[in-house]
Each structure stands twice: as structure tokens, then as C-alpha cells.
Amino acid sequence: MKIAVVAMGKIGLPLAVQFADADETHEVVGIDVNTETVAAINAGREPFPGEAHLGDKLAELVPAGRLRATTDYADGIPGADAVVVVVPLFVDEATGAPDFAWMDSATESLAAHLTPDTRPLISYETTLPVGTTRDRWRPMIEEVSGLTEGTDFDLVFSPERVLTGRVFADLSRYPKLVGGLGDEESRRAREFYEAVLDFDVREDLPRPNGVWDMGSAEAAEMAKLAETTYRDVNIGLANQFARFADGAGIDVHRVIEACNSQPYSHIHQPGIAVGGHCIPVYPRLYLSTDPGATVVRTAREANAAMPGYAVSRAEALLGSLRGLRVVVLGASYRGKVKETAFSGVFATVDALRERGAQVLVHDPMYSAEELRGFGWEPYAWAPGEPGEPVDVAIVQADHPEYARLAATDLPGLRVLLDGRRVTDPERFVGVPRLTIGGGEPVTA
């Protein structure tokens, strides 16, 4: 097959590599607007760090002619048997409404170069509001291409269900969900993904692991939104429990551990923030088509309030943060990932500045210049070396470096607020250490 993958980001590029690696006769073309990304791929180099096995696979597949990249849709799309779209969908911060600008542009560009001789299968993997594949992409593709869905091309939705850093393992681990606009389109999607993916044997699933036909594009769209929205709602519940536990002097982590010892309880962990491309975003996409989902909305609001709550815990202990030097440890939304998408660092820094604190930010994955680019004053510290004097430290991301942090690394430290519960209490003897839901007493 000739397979085109649109958008060579942290999901799209590993997907293209997976497709190329599945059969040496496949021709896989990645399309991306970023010339530097395209150049890196064509040189056999990974354009971003952190994805397991990606570099080795690129170094093998690109020189062998099984994978290449281009910025030109006229090069990548014509003659394709399958077109897989993984272009980012953004969400307006203020309104929570989906912003389709990038996806619209990509869809119009690919539609302009479709060739009906191969009856291409077009599969959207970007998470979408329910109904988008049928009501937005179908008419747009038909209008631009002059082709007819179900006759000249087939259209399906098949959500990506992987986590950056372990994409190849997740592609094997989880069932691949597909939903077409018709039965024939679903059948073609099953055949395509069965040809490019291998699946682990899983005895825990209700049916064999593999490609699962959801029956419609809408069901597949909802499945992805539901599985991620569940996590946001669950974390929101855990955060509500944590805030109550703090007021009652209860360690909520012991409570959750006890609850989850019973097989019908699966309470997640509380924390300072819910970040990333998925968990804080997809509930908003769901709400865009189900505005009456009060449980979803309340959970999202509860999670969004956690950075401010964490700062208030430190403020309550000291009485005021005005004029104090506060370091936020972690710009990334989670440990070992160089990505700030919807990271709690933004709201944490804002809350501290509103209280008059002098804010510094540290992250082992970002240079001082990169942190300044976000408008933050960088904090100089490396494991084994004491940093600059600070009054307060707030752990925002669970980078492994912070698990080895000690009070001696932060001269003058008066309070540690560990928003991820990764630090060792024994390394902070003599310094108040607060957590989210730890039940530690806070008095000014």
C-alpha cells in the first residue's frame, strides 16, 4: 500500500514508522508543514526526543526507502490507498470551544489531491467531538475534491489511544477502535489496521485484542471522549476528597489505597494539576456537544482550580507570599516529558504572582533560555548542587530528579508544597512539607 500520514508530530510520526515497519512493500509518506521536522525525518533522525525506539526505527526505515517526509500534499496524497490524519485539534482557553483551523486546512489540502483510482481510505485519528467525521469532514472533502464518499473514497474515525514516550507498546497493547460512515467503510478500516498493527494477547478483555468495529464513526468518536473524560472526572473526585481530607487532618492517599483494595473501586490520585493534550482537553470537546453534562463540567472546574488551591496551602502556612522567592519545580505537564500543553505551571505561576511572590521556574528538560521564552525567570539547580536561596518550593511535575530532592538543595527553604507527592519526607526534616490530600495541619 501507499500510506500517507498527515502531521508528523509525537503521535503521527510513530504511526508512520509503525506502518512502514509492518511490511517492507509499503510506501509511507509523512506530510508536515514544518520544514525542520521533514528534514530531520528524511535524514533518519528523530525530530523530538523521548519516544522509545523511534530513533532506531527511523535510522533503519528511511535509508531503506520505506519512509519519507514531505511538505507537499501534491507529493504525498495522490495514489494513496490510505490517508491517516493526526493533525492537532486545539481548544479555546476562554470558551472551551474546539478550534478546527489546523484540521480544516489539512483536510482541504488533502481533499484537493485525492485520486479516486485507489478509492482511498481516509482515517481521522485526532480526537473529535461526536459527529465531526460525518458532519464536518465528509461535506468538506466532497466539496473540495468533487468526489463522493462511499464511492470514490471511504471515511472512518479511528482514535489514537497511545501515550507519548511509549507509542509502539501502546499500539500493541490496546484494541484499535474503528467506526465508518457505512459498513463497507468499517470493513476496509478493519482490513487496513489489521495489516499494519500487531496486538498483544490479553486475557483480561471481553473479546480478543485487535481491531474493534464500533459500528459507526459517532460511537468511535464517543468512545475516545468517554475514556478520557472518565479519567478527568475520576481525578476531579479524588481532588475533592483530597481537599476535604486536608481540612479534616486525614491522609487521603491511605484512604484511596484502602478503597482500591476492593475490586469495584478505582479512585485515581489527586494532584496539583491535570495537564497534557488529552485529559484537560477532551472533556471540553465532549461538553461542546453535550452542554448539559453537569458532572463533566464540575469535575473540569474542580481540576482547573487545583493549582490555586496548592498555592493557598503554602500561603496559609506562611501568612503571606508577598515578596517571597518561590520556585515552581516542573514546567512540563508530567514527568519525563518535554511538553507544557495545559501544564499546571501556568496557573501556578499566575497564582503566585497574584499574591506578590517573586516566581522562578525550574525544569531539568528545559534550558534557561527556553524557560525565559515562556516569560519565566529560570531557577539554577542540578542534582548534587545547592541552588539559589528560596523561601518556598512547589513541585508541579513528577520528574525523577525531584524524587531525590533534599532541603539542602534549596537553601533558606521555609515550606515545600509537593503537588505530586514524589519527594522523600526524610530529606526535609525540619522543613514543613505539604501535599495535596496529605492532611498536614496548616496554620499561619
- On whether both 274 and 210 belong to a single domain, the answer is no
- On whether both 292 and 437 belong to a single domain, the answer is yes
Q: Is residue 304 part of a domain?
A: yes
- On whether both 183 and 276 belong to a single domain, the answer is no
- On whether both 273 and 377 belong to a single domain, the answer is yes
- On whether both 309 and 356 belong to a single domain, the answer is yes
- On whether both 201 and 256 belong to a single domain, the answer is no
- On whether both 271 and 373 belong to a single domain, the answer is yes
Q: Is residue 36 part of a domain?
A: yes
What's the pLDDT tens digit per position in 203-237? 999 999 999 999 999 999 999 999 999 999 999 99
- What range defines the domain where residue 143 resides? 2-215
- On whether both 52 and 176 belong to a single domain, the answer is yes
Q: Is residue 184 part of a domain?
A: yes
What's the pLDDT tens digit per position in 25-48? 999 999 999 999 999 999 999 999
Domain count, the chain: 2
Q: Is residue 239 part of a domain?
A: no
What's the pLDDT tens digit per position in 291-317? 999 999 999 999 999 999 999 999 999
- On whether both 312 and 433 belong to a single domain, the answer is yes
Q: Is residue 267 part of a domain?
A: yes
CATH number of the domain that residue 441 is part of: 3.40.50.720
pLDDT at 444 (0 to 100): 53
What's the pLDDT tens digit per position in 107-125? 999 999 999 999 999 999 9
Angstrom distance (rounded) from CA 167 to CA 174: 11
Contact 302, 283 (CB under 8 A): no
- On whether both 95 and 209 belong to a single domain, the answer is yes
Q: Is residue 232 part of a domain?
A: no
Cell representation of residue 226: 468517554
Q: What share of the chain is helix, strand, coil (3-state, %, to 5)?
A: 40, 15, 45
Closest listed residue to residue 176, CA positions, set 231, 220, 215: 220
